[in-house]
Structure 1
Amino acid sequence: MNADSPMLVGIDFSPSSRNALLTALRLAKAKQRKVTALHVMDPDLAGAIKTAHGFTDAALHASMLERLRAFLDAPADLTKDLTFEFETGADFVTLIHWCNKLKAGLLVLGSRGRISAHNQIGAIAARCARQAPADVLLVREDTKHAFRHIVACVDFSETSAKAVRHAAEVAEIEGSHLDCLTVNQTALAMSLDYAGYLPALEVPDTTSTEYWGGELEKFRTPLIPAAVAPRAKGVVLERVNVRDAIYEYIGTSGADLVVLGTRGRTNLRTIFMGTTAERIITNSPCSVLAVKPEGYEFQVH
């Protein structure tokens, strides 16, 4: 979420994509960032519409831009830095192309497409969260207000430091409470996770919740601006299953946004790497900001 980089919002005319655009405009206004709202249409559908209505390419383009403006129906003060775009093509490929074209720092999507299961994000949103060359904010359909309670997941990696900084930026804009959450998997818990086959760990006694609480304070304190610090705290949970611990905390805390890095540690003490991060992103009961590693790039051909 580079403060100087533009935002790209994917629009599919679902209620969650409208909330995604309103959320992007709200966040962008605070930093005076440019926002581009893009609708991508399947070429076969575009051809059928042109045939049915006698549209030229230009007429279809103009018609879709008008529909996008009507779909948003937002106050003028929110839309002064907003540009609407329409393109035919494959959804994912076109979104990636526009991310690279705009050098977007943030891609904002509705968390649920036109066809999605309860608490499960759409297929395009899931793929973008994994691969888009920008941080990805997935906004739920029931997000009707500013984010009030943010949870930033910490595994002490560089990417989770970036996640905490971005969570703090949103908290500063929105006036949110911010909880920096880490999950302590003790040696016993890890042994249970690996069916008892984990080798003995010859390390100092660093498995206590108190120890990790101190490490979390040292990690998070320099990342959080003074304006947010009074509303921020560190939380250490001791659990066997990291994913379940995060779900549980989201539920008990009433969080409406979870922020996590898409790449974390790669040793046996992995917290937010691989399937854990993927499942949190895919099935989170609240909006998600997926933060990419510094320098991450992705091209489609």
Structure 2
Amino acid sequence: MEPHIQTPPRAVLLATDLTARSDRALSRAQMLAKAWQSRLVAVHAVTRSDRMFSQVLDAPLPAAAPDSLQDARERMRRDVLPGSGGSAIVVERGKPVEVISRTAKMQKCDLIVTGISRDETLMRMGLRRTIGQLVRRLGVPLLTVRENADAPYRNILVGLDMTQASRRALQTAAALFPDQSLNVLHAYEPPLPGSMVEDAERRAEVRATAMKACSEFIASGMDPDGVHHAFKVFAESGWPSALIRRHVLDQGIDLVVLGTHDRSSFFDILFGSTAMDALASLPCDVLIVGRRGVANRKFGKAA
């Protein structure tokens, strides 16, 4: 497997279940592929797991969900091909993770796009598990689309925790969206109750130290002779997921970019994952960057 993705992506893979949840993802994938002049590969895995899941919950299967290869291919040709020049469709019977992974490798896809319903705030466990498995297995960035694709992303926020995973997220965001100024948010641990750090002056010192560390982390990837990218840096104390959500709502963020560590699903179940928390709670699109970000490149300047 190639160690890094290419930018612009050679191919964008749209993973669709052919329900309304995937409509926004289709529009966004088409927009990105056109802007990057990338191939669009639309994939659908035909499985009966959704039908069995609905029967267990005594809930009806969405009428739009096809349960045969022929029905799925016809839907794909009708919904995907007309708006996607140079696109390809893949419909296979099997587990979604297996079908998507196999197709992404064969088609050399550098980005996966999938959809999440706007009201799916907690996400079905199966969808959350599928996304986690794809990120760990393929390592390529995965974009979950929740909002309408009315325009290119204009207000992007990158979560920074000063790890290699967040460096990959920052580099990937800068490479995929070179014309956009990026907001960078670092969440540091709040002062302990009753400690001297609760003093206002001391809190300001702690924040200044965090800002300095954040700027130095970004500066370590700069190249004065290379292409510059502007970053607006924020450092605040608190829980990362809560701070990210507040910034999304207050600043009108339309895309959040997060790096994820190559850990097992068991670890995430026990200790949580900021990236997965964001998928479940944020009212905007989220780009999760796995172990295969862009090749180590120098970037920008901090504002």
The reply to whether TM is greater than 0.5 is: yes
The residue that corresponds to 1:56 in the other structure is none
Aligned to 1:184: 188
CA–CA separation in structure 2 for the residues paired with 1:118 and 1:45? 16
- The one of 207, 210, 234 equivalent to 1:209 is 207
1:148-297 correspondence runs (5 A): 148-172=154-178, 175-186=179-190, 188=191, 191=192, 208-221=206-219, 222=221, 226=227, 228-229=229-230, 232-239=231-238, 241-263=239-261, 274-294=272-292
Aligned-residue offset at 1:246 = 1.5
1:31 equivalent in alignment to 2:30: no
**Amino acid in the other structure paired with 2:211:** G
2:96 & 2:253 partners in 1: Cα distance? 30
Question: Structure 1 stretch 35-44 or stretch 253-262: which is displaced more?
Answer: 35-44
Q: TM-score, normalised by structure 1?
A: 0.71
Say whether the 8 Å CA contact 2:141–2:292 is kept in structure 1. Answer: no
Give a deviation string over 1:17-53, Cα, whole Å, max 9, x none. 222122223222333322210122126999xxxxxxx
* Worse-matched range after superposition: 213-222 or 33-42: 213-222
Q: Mark the CA change 1:29 to 1:7 in structure 2 (over 3 Å): closer, same or farther.
A: same
1:238-265 deviation digits (Å, cap 9, x = unpaired): 22x2221111111111111111011189
Match for residue 152 of structure 2? 146
Q: Is 2:102 the partner of 1:104?
A: no
Is the Cα–Cα contact under 8 Å of residues 150 and 171 in structure 1 kept in the other structure?
no
Report the TM-score, using the length of structure 2 for normalisation: 0.70
Query: Any idea what SS the aligned residue of 2:177 has?
Result: helix
Note the C-alpha offset of 1:235: 1.0
Equivalent of 1:68 in 60, 64, 76: 76
Read off the aligned partner of 1:126 and give its amino acid letter.
Answer: R
**C-alpha deviations, 1:161-208, integer Å up to 9, x for none?**
110122223433xx544201101214x2xx46xxx9xxxxxxxx9972
Distance 1:16 1:45, change over 3 A: closer
| Inter-partner Cα distance in structure 1 for 2:133 and 2:247 | 27
Contact 1:180 1:220 in 2 (8 A): no
Retained in 1: the 8 A contact 2:47–2:93? Answer: yes
Q: Deviations over 1:60-99 (max 9, x none)?
A: 7565333213223754xxx222111111122233223323
**Following the alignment from structure 2 to structure 1, what is the Cα–Cα distance between the partners of residues 112 and 123?**
15
C-alpha displacement of 1:287 = 0.7
Quickly say closer, same or farther: Cα 1:122–1:148, change in 2 above 3 A: farther
Counterpart AA for 2:206: S
CA RMSD of aligned residues (A): 3.4
**Quick one: which amino acid aligns to residue 154 of structure 1?**
L
Map 1:118-137 onto structure 2 (within 5 A).
Answer: 118-132=120-134, 133=138, 134-137=140-143
Give the direction of change, closer, same or farther, for the CA distance of 1:25–1:150 in structure 2 (3 Å limit): same
Q: Secondary structure at the match of 2:157?
A: strand
- Which consecutive unaligned segments of at least 5 residues does structure 1 have? 47-59, 197-204, 266-272, 296-301
**How many angstroms apart in 1 are the aligned matches of 2:245 and 2:86?**
36
How many residues are aligned here?
A: 251
Tell whether 2:90 aligns with 1:85. Answer: yes
The CA distance in 2 between the partners of 1:109 and 1:294, in whole Å, is 18
Relative to 1, partners in 2 of residues 1:179 and 1:278: Cα closer, same or farther, differing over 3 Å? same
The answer to whether the 8 Å contact 1:8/1:108 transfers is yes
Instruction: Give the letter aligned to residue 185 of structure 1.
Output: E
What do the CA deviations read for 1:208-242 (whole angstroms, capped 9, x no partner)? 2112212222323536974642xx31111122x22
Indicate how the Cα distance of structure 1 residues 63 and 159 shifts in structure 2: closer, same or farther if over 3 A, else same: same
Q: Secondary structure at the match of 2:18?
A: coil
Aligned sequence identity (%): 24
Contact 2:154 2:180 in 1 (8 A): yes
Structure 2: segments with no counterpart, 5+ residues = 52-67, 196-202, 264-270, 294-303
Name the aligned partner's letter for residue 9 of structure 1.
Answer: L
Give me the whole-angstrom Cα distance separating, in 1, the residues matched to 2:130 and 2:116: 11
Question: 1:9–1:36: 8 Å Cα contact kept in structure 2?
Answer: yes
Return closer, same or farther for 1:149/1:9 CA change in 2, 3 Å cut-off: same
